[in-house]
Structure 1
């Protein structure tokens, strides 16, 4: 149990009550005051928040700013994140509460783990890693599908102070090899296969090929054999089930680590071809996620929560694994899709069966559901009486999708904006403290700890409703990246060198007169049409409001006269398919007219392609840059995170030849 931190760390009394979860409602004025204090007095604010974490040695210093731009949180504190996620809940009476629900429609199985059962599994696999020679600071690469062993392996690493690096199961060998080479793991944990709705994906051959390509070789490879396609094991391969037999391993205890020690490295695609290893520290991350789960997402200890992401993404790390378990909630791990396993009501079935009070997923998942069930009929087939909030992030939430979800579910639909680098929300409607008025198209106000500014090309702050580069004034709050893995220089060059004293998010947008942040898209997605700067988000917002449109993307293509012109790709809702070329042309004309009416003639949209699907990453981000390069006649480097290469292949000719349909 963490005592009060230091006598010098104070927050206004009313704010302390919110940080400790003792109050349930704020006024908007009080919340804005809380935001201001978090920026003006980060030591006081985050010192109090650290009281929600159990420390072996409580920190006496909250923020170390002695070496800017390298800021460190709780530099003299020690803790163990696994202890905070599991042991302390068992000790304090939650041993028999469900910690993890595994729901897998692709295999037809469900399994639940109490906090005591999950702790037993984690402690045993931590013992396995220890016996395989993994020590504090060593890396372990985890290459697994959405199965409980992925969560167990992550927490086992945290338990012994090892650094985990999760790579999507099914990632291509070249990308996996690059991550293995950079992280240099002592052990790789994988499975024999992954299971998709229509096929089984063998993982072991891809892992073997990655290791053949890699300049680094792990000492051991641990394989989870799945009955759908067991793998043939080689000399250094070890069977998970054999290693985990109670007679084969003694459980491992928690190893104290410094708050500044890395908990994990999560790779994102880099512009130079080399992936960027986002470092997440232990103490700041634990404090931020525990604070966010209750105060931002309004999920209390003992409640069930579903995050429809993947542990290969930051959302999965933060809100499938760490935040709910640090809170003492029940987290749902889903091996399936929002549609097709078996239908567009899959998420509603999950919420109903497991009594989830809230769900967090990507707007693209809701758009996929909306496409197949435009009237929302499947919602009514499930008892959602416990469900109270839908949270969306990962891709811009257009107002039409927000409206559809709001109408279909009858609960608040809350946008939140953040990045792999930050680890938790930058901008969000903090429903655990109060629900601010919702403005469709905005994720609301910056959350405490983030000093968000919009800057022009000279680095000067712009006025209300003026678009520019969205930046965060340093220092950023706990839980955000302190650097890149073994590459401080690249960290500064990538994020901190454009505007001195600011973190560059790479997103563009504006802040309105009420302080609401509108993120309009990546800064490289801003169109320059005859000298007029237009965000793709504003054009997409106009298109998405058409009743026939399920989802859409706008890209800027090179034009010899205007520099760039916009081009739209539109996916229609089920039942909205057009019959004949005349009807298709009429729909295109309607969409062009709609953009002209809502954005203005300066948008110069003339080209609308009706397509079957849009190419996306596995997290739901639409590959606008890749499509733009194809339309310009270039050969793009296709991101390794692409969900379905076939979708992009189907668009190649459309983007190149201008036929207008696919």
Structure 2
């Protein structure tokens, strides 16, 4: 939309106060309280992070809190801490929490298990000893190719216990994608499940590992967990190990390794626009500090909560808000393996009812899926336990926001639409659920200790209501510390564009109430004949049409207009993808935004290129319409088999017009 329309849309947005009953149990209960605490955290950030540190268990604590500035900084340098000790030991050794359920597990096939903190503690120590028995130690790297399983959490927590860096690879990535991450991180071991369930199918993960390791590689050991008993896999006796056999031999006692707060703790790969995917390095202790703070204040996590974050462990959100942030707070969390709408569309609701989930965190894509399944389906289940709905990944459009609030929340919940990136290791923008008035489409306010700003190309702050580049002016513990093996790329990507700040690459607007509206990537804002159009707003208009399930809009270069918007749309099966529907969708965008925003073309497709978090990779769509193929990095796809199909669909759709 044009700058003027953007301002009007944002300034006219309604404010919805958090329910009074929710405020009573929130850590921050009013905007005045938030503003006072936020002001103090910016004026004296060391004091705020010291306050967070006081709630954690330290092996050795030094006086220094923050040293250095972007891109070279540290938190609590010289202080020793262990992530696993804070997420497991301190609860397992607490008589009041040791027998509390840490994880409720449910598989797509209906299998159910539960683990207490005491049980988790025992299993983690045993697997830590397994790793030591194979010669792995602090500073080594392992690749973890597993789905959402309690054993996956055991593996990762054991790595934290020993200072071994892990990188999780989505259990659906191709052999090429897995191999790229193994080679890039110089992984000494791969830990995998033999298979996983996905929409009723069995995926043979061990076969993928074997294919990834056909040529020269650094891997010395492959540990295989038998998730599916009757699934036959090939085991190389010189390299491969059975998880259960190793665990049976392992001692259930293993001391934690003291680690500097800034020692590398984990790698998470994020796709670049071209070339190799980037291995983002997060500091273990810093990651713990920040994710504990985010989880506490943005989700109000408490002892009594039953909390479900649907993110796959291949997505950093699961590490932020479940593995580290959630477990550090000692909550009961749910792990689910498989597709959340299988074997029936009401699977999410069924689990909310069964476990009485009161806090649900998912991606906007998943929430829009529930919206398309309809209101009547939701009414079949008891969803009265829900108090908080949170989202991250891409903007939660206002239409979906209102549907969630009314249908799932019965107008009595808090909806927290957050913003973060792989590189930020958390969500610098979010609501404080008991304090911040909700605005459908907003990403909330800056978190304590995080100074965000909207600036122009020269790095100067722009007035409220003016779109610009989103930057972060202060260092914070979860900010990425490096790109693995490529310091130059780290500095050039995130700090060179605007020296002295972290350059997010996103465009945003700050409104007069201090709330931020993230419009998308800088290259997801299209200039058409002088009109600056947010692709998010066009997508929101299209999604609001009853026929549309998903929509993605990208800009295509045009000699006259500079760029024109092109829409990719998947539709409900009861509708026909014809010229009449295309015209109706174009008219809707014109009515909602203006004639200048009319999509030049609408491609009806059956699939969208998505990351493992469910985010549509619009860069690939641009490449398809401009070049007829995808030339950039494609290893980040959730399903690597869809590209050829998508390209063929677009070509066929273009030929039929």
State the TM-score, normalized to the length of structure 1.
0.90
Matches within 5 A, 1:201-240: 201-214=203-216, 216-225=217-226, 226-234=228-236, 235-240=238-243
Secondary structure of 1:244's match?
A: helix
Secondary structure of 2:368's match?
A: helix
User: Is contact 1:125-1:251 (8 Å) kept?
Assistant: no
Alignment equivalent of 2:625, drawn from 626, 631, 643: 631
Secondary structure of 1:190's match?
A: strand
Tell me the residue number matched to 2:316: 314
User: Is contact 2:305-2:359 (8 Å) kept?
Assistant: no
Matched, 1:463 2:463: yes
Secondary structure of 1:233's match?
A: coil
Deviation (angstroms), 1:130: 0.9
Task: Render the CA deviation track for 1:117-158: whole Å, top value 9, x for unaligned.
Answer: 011100000010011111122222111122221110000011
Secondary structure of 1:265's match?
A: strand
Tell me the residue number matched to 1:526: 525
User: Is contact 1:357-1:387 (8 Å) kept?
Assistant: yes
Alignment equivalent of 1:642, drawn from 634, 637, 640: 637
Tell me the residue number matched to 1:7: none
Alignment equivalent of 1:62, drawn from 37, 60, 65: 65
Task: Render the CA deviation track for 1:541-587: whole Å, top value 9, x for unaligned.
Answer: 22223343333111112222212111122333465x24xx8xx5444
Secondary structure of 1:632's match?
A: helix
Moved more, 282-291 or 123-132: 282-291
C-alpha distance in structure 1 between counterparts of 2:466 and 2:529, whole Å: 19
Tell me the residue number matched to 1:480: 479
Tell me the residue number matched to 2:334: 332
Tell me the residue number matched to 1:393: 392
Matches within 5 A, 1:378-417: 378-410=377-409, 411-417=413-419
User: Which ranges of structure 1 fall in alignment gaps of 5 or more residues?
Assistant: 1-20
Deviation (angstroms), 1:655: 3.0
C-alpha distance in structure 2 between counterparts of 1:74 and 1:89, whole Å: 23
Deviation (angstroms), 1:512: 1.5
Deviation (angstroms), 1:412: 2.6
Deviation (angstroms), 1:27: 2.1
Matches within 5 A, 1:139-158: 139-158=141-160
Alignment equivalent of 1:96, drawn from 95, 99, 117: 99
Tell me the residue number matched to 1:35: 38
C-alpha distance in structure 2 between counterparts of 1:621 and 1:277, whole Å: 19
Secondary structure of 2:553's match?
A: strand
C-alpha distance in structure 1 between counterparts of 2:279 and 2:643, whole Å: 27
Task: Render the CA deviation track for 1:53-103: whole Å, top value 9, x for unaligned.
Answer: 1001123111011x6421111112111111111111122221110011111
**Change in 2 beyond 3 A, CA 1:634/1:462:** farther
Secondary structure of 1:436's match?
A: coil
Deviation (angstroms), 1:274: 1.8
Secondary structure of 1:169's match?
A: coil
Deviation (angstroms), 1:537: 1.1
Deviation (angstroms), 1:488: 2.2
Deviation (angstroms), 1:232: 1.8
**Change in 2 beyond 3 A, CA 1:599/1:333:** same
**Change in 2 beyond 3 A, CA 1:594/1:249:** same
Alignment equivalent of 1:605, drawn from 599, 603, 607: 599
C-alpha distance in structure 2 between counterparts of 1:194 and 1:280, whole Å: 28
**Change in 2 beyond 3 A, CA 1:22/1:594:** closer
Tell me the residue number matched to 2:420: 418
Deviation (angstroms), 1:646: 5.3
User: Is contact 2:550-2:569 (8 Å) kept?
Assistant: yes
Deviation (angstroms), 1:657: 5.5
C-alpha distance in structure 2 between counterparts of 1:224 and 1:24, whole Å: 40
User: Is contact 1:52-1:287 (8 Å) kept?
Assistant: no
User: Is contact 1:525-1:555 (8 Å) kept?
Assistant: yes
- Of structures 1 and 2, the one scoring higher in RCO (CA 8 A, sep 6+) is 2
C-alpha distance in structure 2 between counterparts of 1:483 and 1:451, whole Å: 21
Secondary structure of 1:356's match?
A: coil
User: How large is the RMSD of aligned CA atoms in angstroms?
Assistant: 2.2
C-alpha distance in structure 2 between counterparts of 1:68 and 1:571, whole Å: 42
**Change in 2 beyond 3 A, CA 1:651/1:185:** closer
User: Is contact 2:604-2:653 (8 Å) kept?
Assistant: no
C-alpha distance in structure 2 between counterparts of 1:37 and 1:435, whole Å: 17
C-alpha distance in structure 1 between counterparts of 2:651 and 2:562, whole Å: 18
Task: Render the CA deviation track for 1:408-430: whole Å, top value 9, x for unaligned.
Answer: 11233220110111111111111
C-alpha distance in structure 1 between counterparts of 2:157 and 2:139, whole Å: 14
Matches within 5 A, 1:424-463: 424-431=426-433, 434-463=434-463
**Change in 2 beyond 3 A, CA 1:329/1:74:** same
Matched, 1:119 2:121: yes
User: Is contact 1:610-1:661 (8 Å) kept?
Assistant: no
Matches within 5 A, 1:348-359: 348-359=349-360
C-alpha distance in structure 1 between counterparts of 2:267 and 2:359, whole Å: 28
C-alpha distance in structure 1 between counterparts of 2:324 and 2:250, whole Å: 28
Matches within 5 A, 1:256-335: 256-335=258-337
**Change in 2 beyond 3 A, CA 1:476/1:589:** same
C-alpha distance in structure 2 between counterparts of 1:25 and 1:295, whole Å: 7
C-alpha distance in structure 2 between counterparts of 1:654 and 1:71, whole Å: 48
Task: Render the CA deviation track for 1:152-191: whole Å, top value 9, x for unaligned.
Answer: 0000011112111111223222222222122222322112
Secondary structure of 1:449's match?
A: coil
User: Is contact 2:277-2:635 (8 Å) kept?
Assistant: no
Deviation (angstroms), 1:302: 4.0
State the TM-score, normalized to the length of structure 2.
0.91
Tell me the residue number matched to 1:9: none
Aligned residues: 627
**Change in 2 beyond 3 A, CA 1:191/1:24:** closer
C-alpha distance in structure 2 between counterparts of 1:69 and 1:647, whole Å: 38
C-alpha distance in structure 2 between counterparts of 1:124 and 1:342, whole Å: 35
C-alpha distance in structure 1 between counterparts of 2:404 and 2:340, whole Å: 14
User: Is contact 2:222-2:241 (8 Å) kept?
Assistant: yes
C-alpha distance in structure 2 between counterparts of 1:469 and 1:656, whole Å: 35
Secondary structure of 1:383's match?
A: coil
Secondary structure of 1:168's match?
A: coil
**Change in 2 beyond 3 A, CA 1:358/1:429:** same
Secondary structure of 1:465's match?
A: coil
User: Which ranges of structure 2 fall in alignment gaps of 5 or more residues?
Assistant: 1-23
Deviation (angstroms), 1:30: 2.4
Deviation (angstroms), 1:604: 4.0
Moved more, 90-99 or 648-657: 648-657
Tell me the residue number matched to 2:16: none
User: Is contact 1:143-1:191 (8 Å) kept?
Assistant: yes
User: Is contact 1:632-1:656 (8 Å) kept?
Assistant: no
